[in-house]
Structure 1
């Protein structure tokens, strides 16, 4: 099993400055590179406290690419309906060249209505746009000439430049839990980026089987691997003991969950649309438990909800505990059919605590 590092911070950077947050991200990524982690994932978020330093994963990934030597740099996730596919191909070709072939993207449909001030016409059919444009993105990456409408209304044929370093772009589809998205990812032969949180082990096992069956039955896709990668996000802090890990992680994680629930109250997207992103997956049980009533919750109710979610995280699906506890959790995820765990580390812990936890986690890699 591969281990990666995922960022999706919720803390208010105004107290220390956003420049310091970027320094922390660089330091943690360099450490992950040195320690042998597979990849670093950075999200796309707009106009919220949650993920406030991550408006453009391509821009940040370019910086991480030149600051590292071997670790893969990936968008987890890129909200494809907010972008023209040509621009995505151009931007990530730059990252791919700077990293000498270490770029990758997880495509998300988007879920928060406020994000779509950047592309208001793309909101209603965002799921269809995202799934449709995956094929187009593959064609552009491969160097095909594709017709688009130019500034005069004429159809013109263009090819994306610069040419990428890699022949194929590794693609994931992000899901917050919808079985339809797991199946769609299999049909498209993309990898899949999900989360342990917010679903039972049995539910997740069923979705992985659904994905594997759909992938096996799907026709070959240009640039797609013969077998898809199942990557699962998990809140991570490896402590010296279970008690120490939970004591250090408990307060920051519960504050993170409350911040996440608060942003759901400002989302005008109807729940039935099923838009998905790394944010929803990372928020997990707390966000879904709050639902449409998030805006009406009192402070005490938010505390109760966050405590409930935290206790659920401890019972299954997180990497919060001692090395031995986390070793057992990783073995369980491997048995479930998980190929890679994206370790979600920046939920409020200090950079030094994150780095210490990664050092202990890296020691477990030899057993995987």
Structure 2
């Protein structure tokens, strides 16, 4: 099983302009320190042998406020590292013209000498779509359609689009990428239909352990494998797709120390995420926004205890070893270790060192 590092963002919006200390101990503005920490953690992950680093696309929210463009940040990470793969986890495809996606990621692919990957998401938060308001209603159909376009553009095929005069013109994406095939994932928040769609398109899949039982996840992986096997071949795709699962991760000295360290930050992150979900006009039913502070605390504590019981890598090396073995039995090929849910950079780096030792044992 491969182990990767995933950033998804836990940020205090009020701290954006205040000086803080980065991983090197220097005092810098809040968001500058966050980027310094991302760079330091990614360099450590590169040195320690992790497979990939994933950065998301988020807009206009507290959670993930420093991640508006995974290609832009990915270019910086590509030139600062030597072997780790640089991936978008995820790119909200309906917000972008597919030509722009092909161009941007071809740059990162060249800078990294072929170490990129892109997980395509349909998007979910209504506020994100102020960037492309007409794309919200049919965002799923647009995303699945543009996956095929991305593959054609990456391969160097001339594709027709409408130009500024309203005429149809054939366009070939430039620059040409370093890699002949674009490694693609499909991101799912848990819908069985998305798991099957990923299989039919013969993309890899990026999911998460949270929000579902072990049995539910096993069934979704089975459906994905069946759909992938029955789908027509796509040029350059492997005979078997990669199942990547995101899991909250912190390997502590022992279980007690790990739980003590992650309890406060993770519960605060969960409360912020609930608030973000409640503000989504495209899916919220208003109930989350009506919760009192005490109810939010109870909900966060319940979710935290559930993470400890299954689906996370929160605990001692022995506890995390058992969790990884369980995920491998489910059919997981790669764990994207979600590390920036509120811990300080020093704690993240220390946990990463212990996780690397565990990876070597496995």
Q: TM tier, shorter chain? A: over 0.9
**Which of residues 170, 175, 190 is equivalent to 1:157?**
170
Gaps of 5+ in 1: 272-290
Distance 2:314 2:161 in 1: 48
1:321 corresponds in structure 2 to 315
Cα distance between partner residues in 2 of 1:86 and 1:224: 21
| Residue in 2 that maps onto 1:85 | 98
Q: SS of 1:240's equivalent?
A: coil
The match for 1:113 among 122, 126, 129 is: 126
Deviations 1:20-56 (A, max 9, x none): 1000000000000000000000000000001000000
Q: Deviations 1:93-113 (Å, cap 9, x if unpaired)?
A: 000000000010000000000
Deviation at 1:265, TM superposition (A): 1.5
Gaps of 5+ in 2: 21-29
1:245 equivalent to 2:258? Answer yes
- Distance in 1 separating the partners of 2:72 and 2:91: 12
Aligned partners of 1:250 and 1:94: how far apart in 2?
40
1:170 aligns with 2:164: no
Does residue 289 of structure 2 align to residue 295 of structure 1?
yes
Higher RCO structure, 1 or 2 (CA under 8 Å, sep 6+):
1
Q: Deviations over 1:239-268 (max 9, x none)?
A: 000000000001000000000000112111
Match of 1:363, SS state, is: helix
TM-score by length of 1: 0.94
How many residues matched? 349
Rounded to whole Å, the distance in 2 between the matches of 1:132 and 1:318 is: 34
CA displacement at 1:343 relative to structure 2: 0.1
Structure 1 residue 222 displacement after superposition: 2.0
Q: Post-superposition shift, 1:312?
A: 0.3
- Provide Cα deviations, 1:334-353, integer angstroms capped at 9, x if missing partner: 01100000000000000000
Equivalent residue for 1:305?
A: 299
CA distance in 2, matches of 1:320, 1:263: 24
Aligned match for 1:20, one of 29, 33, 38: 33
The alignment's C-alpha RMSD in Å is 0.8
Q: What does residue 364 of structure 1 align with?
A: 358
Distance 1:115 1:9 in 2: 16
Local SS of the residue matching 1:308: helix
* Aligned twin of 1:128: 141
Q: Runs (4+) of structure 1 moved beyond 4 Å?
A: none
CA deviation string 1:279-308 (max 9, x = no partner): xxxxxxxxxxxx641110110000000000
Compute the displacement of 1:224 (Å): 1.7
Partner residue in 2 for 1:4: 4
Task: Find the aligned partners of 2:135 and 2:278 in 1 and give their Cα distance.
Answer: 21
Per the alignment, residue 352 of structure 1 pairs with 346
Deviation digits for residues 213-251 of structure 1, max 9, x if unmatched? 000000001232211000000000000000000000010
